[in-house]
A and B are shown apart, each in its own frame.
With several copies, the nearest count.
Chain A
Amino acid sequence: MTTAQTDWFDTPVPPVAEDVMYVDVNGYEGPLDLLLDLARRQKVDLASISVLALAEQYLAFIETVREKRIEVAADYLVMAAWLAYLKSRLMVPQAPSDDEPSGEMLAAMLQFRLKRLEAMRQSASQLMNRPRLGFQVYARGMPEPIEIARKSLWEASLYGLLKAYSSQRERGVATDYSPHLRTVWSLQDARDILQRLIGDSFDWVPMDTYLAEYLASPTERATVRASSFASSLELVRLGHIELKQTETFGPLLMRRNPDRKP
């Protein structure tokens, strides 16, 4: 059911009775709304409306609408059925054995519901006519909310500042870069040298003794030792030489593998 967007407080002037049939059923907010509108046309206090007449008008209205083959929502038909029943209860005197609510009771219930709906509409309009916030009454225009102001305080030290400046200036300067050349024994070199030094010696001789000549240079010592040791392991694997160490951190002894003929 769509909502009538017009200002409903100005209840539309009730059309003349004959015009009722032309009223768009969709203009109503449900059967109760339609009934209320019909009741208002009786131009009497809701307390003294003729419920019977109201029921007849409603049924007539629904009838005309249906004749025009206008789809009528189910609620309207339910209400029509209920009103037809109400009508029959009102016209037939109640039998004493009848447990059902009397026609008067049902009529009173309908009347009550109409009055209540009307009352709620009046209340809504009274509410809207009150001085409303933002319309007639105003709140603080410039609120000064209690707020937790998270103020970031930047932190920087003079050292950081100078460091930042210096490193940028250095970054900008084109410096000649000459890579520092280091002598490195390749594994192949080490292997050749070891092979040559060990020669055909079958005596256990410390590795350092073989390499004494090369180890004299401090810059080369590390690379000579490392590469020679690595190469010696390779030579052992190939079965060319044997290696032994008699104690932890003791000298590394090596000799030609006696089982292998050169």
Chain B
Amino acid sequence: MIAPDEMPTERSEIAERNLRVLEALLFASSEPLSASQMATYLGEGANVTALLMTLQQRYAPRGVNLVRRADKWAFRTAEDLGFLLRREEQETRPLSRAALETLSIIAYHQPATRAEIEEVRGVATGKGTIDLLMEAGWVRMRGRRRTPGRPVTYGTTDGFLDHFGLESLGDLPGLDELKGSGLLSNRLPPSMQIPLPFEGALRDDEDPLDPDDLDGADEPEEEHE
């Protein structure tokens, strides 16, 4: 049952129409849409966020839920029904252990340079590993660290959030615990400040990517020894 709308102000015909429009847009798209993308389809002065919250509430008990992925929204099948829908798997190659570790290090330590990833893993990370994660659409180059060599910093994408069903990086499993134990630091526990996975555009010690970086997406090999 869809919960009765509890905001009387939103019950107007206009709001109802706007909700229908949002439903149609979100339903039709397989990719998450941002509020601003959808706002262009609504009447003037519509409060998109409030409408989306209403919609989310309504669909919460349904077989299809409205979920938030960073600043975007999408309809997704309810998590508890997953076992029913399990498809004849489109043959998915499991991620290698190296790729999996690299992904979680990038997720929890972002922005992270390759040297930092390697420091955590204690082993050199092949360039192919990060490429593979970028190809999967989960990892992106964020910027360049303002240190000698200006190494590229990596972070996760919205596609990463969507794939793993996270609303934001704050939802990463066990994040608080890791923060508390100081394990997300690059240094020894006593002296450390605890950096969190950084969600913003660029951190203080990051420069934007160089224009070339985005073309080939090829990180110069010098950076890595």
Binding site for B on A (CB under 8 A): 1, 3-5, 7-8, 29-33, 35, 75, 79, 105, 108-109, 112-113, 115-117, 119-124, 126-128, 130-158, 160-166, 168-173, 175
A156 touches B172 (CB 8 A): no
A32 touches B183 (CB 8 A): no
Interface assignment of B1: CB less than 8 Å from any CB of chain A: no
A186 smallest CB distance to B (angstroms): 32
Instruction: Using known A-B contacts A139-B74, A155-B95, A172-B120, determine if residue A149 contacts B86 with beta carbons closer than 8 Å.
Output: yes
Interface assignment of B192: CB less than 8 Å from any CB of chain A: yes
Binding site for A on B (CB under 8 A): 24-25, 27-31, 74-77, 79, 82-101, 103-105, 107-108, 120-124, 132, 136, 138, 162-166, 172-174, 178, 181, 183-185, 187-189, 192, 194
B101 touches A30 (CB 8 A): no
A120 touches B101 (CB 8 A): yes
Of the candidates A3, A139, A145, A150, the one whose C-beta lies within 8 Å of that of B76 is A139
Tell me the complex Cα distance, A79–B128, Å.
25
B123 touches A30 (CB 8 A): yes
Instruction: Using known A-B contacts A156-B94, A162-B104, A173-B189, determine if residue A138 contacts B28 with beta carbons closer than 8 Å.
Output: yes
Tell me the complex Cα distance, A112–B120, Å.
10
Instruction: Using known A-B contacts A113-B122, A158-B166, A163-B183, determine if residue A146 contacts B84 with beta carbons closer than 8 Å.
Output: yes
Chain B, residue nearest A6 (CB): B97
B85 touches A144 (CB 8 A): yes
A117 touches B162 (CB 8 A): no
A143 smallest CB distance to B (angstroms): 4
Instruction: Using known A-B contacts A137-B77, A141-B27, A144-B76, determine if residue A149 contacts B89 with beta carbons closer than 8 Å.
Output: yes
B129 smallest CB distance to A (angstroms): 9
A74 smallest CB distance to B (angstroms): 10
Q: In the assembled complex, which residues on chain A have CB atoms less than 8 Å from the CB atom of B132?
A: 154
Residue from the set A116, A126, A128, A155 with the largest chain B CB neighbour count within 10 Å:
A116
B100 touches A124 (CB 8 A): yes
Of the candidates A143, A151, A160, the one whose C-beta lies within 8 Å of that of B91 is A151
Q: In the assembled complex, which residues on chain A have CB atoms less than 8 Å from the CB atom of B76?
A: 133, 137-139, 144
A164 touches B29 (CB 8 A): no
Q: Which 9 A-B pairs have the closest CB atoms?
A: A32-B122, A30-B123, A136-B82, A138-B28, A165-B104, A144-B28, A124-B104, A143-B30, A126-B173
A168 touches B136 (CB 8 A): no
B85 touches A142 (CB 8 A): no
B130 smallest CB distance to A (angstroms): 13
Give 12 A-B pairs besides A109-B188, A155-B94 with Cβ atoms closer than 8 angstroms. A29-B101, A29-B122, A119-B174, A120-B120, A123-B172, A123-B174, A139-B74, A142-B74, A147-B87, A151-B89, A152-B91, A169-B184
Instruction: Using known A-B contacts A3-B98, A164-B104, determine if residue A152 contacts B93 with beta carbons closer than 8 Å.
Output: yes
Tell me the complex Cα distance, A144–B87, Å.
12
B185 touches A120 (CB 8 A): no
A-B CB contact pairs (8 Å), 8 listed: A8-B97, A120-B121, A136-B79, A137-B77, A142-B30, A146-B29, A156-B95, A165-B104
A38 smallest CB distance to B (angstroms): 13
Residue from the set B103, B132, B162 with the largest chain A CB neighbour count within 10 Å:
B103
Instruction: Using known A-B contacts A141-B27, A143-B29, determine if residue A134 contacts B163 with beta carbons closer than 8 Å.
Output: yes
Of the candidates B95, B108, B165, the one whose C-beta lies within 8 Å of that of A131 is B165
A32 touches B108 (CB 8 A): no
Tell me the complex Cα distance, A79–B122, Å.
10
Chain B, residue nearest A126 (CB): B173
Of the candidates B31, B100, B101, B120, the one whose C-beta lies within 8 Å of that of A142 is B31
Instruction: Using known A-B contacts A30-B123, A133-B162, A138-B85, determine if residue A165 contacts B29 with beta carbons closer than 8 Å.
Output: no
Of the candidates A120, A152, A154, the one whose C-beta lies within 8 Å of that of B104 is A120
B92 touches A148 (CB 8 A): no
B120 touches A138 (CB 8 A): no
Chain A, residue nearest B183 (CB): A166
Q: In the assembled complex, which residues on chain A have CB atoms less than 8 Å from the CB atom of B123?
A: 1, 29-33, 75
Q: In the assembled complex, which residues on chain B have CB atoms less than 8 Å from the CB atom of A146?
A: 25, 28-29, 84-87
Tell me the complex Cα distance, A135–B122, Å.
31
Instruction: Using known A-B contacts A141-B27, A152-B91, A162-B173, determine if residue A169 contacts B194 with beta carbons closer than 8 Å.
Output: yes
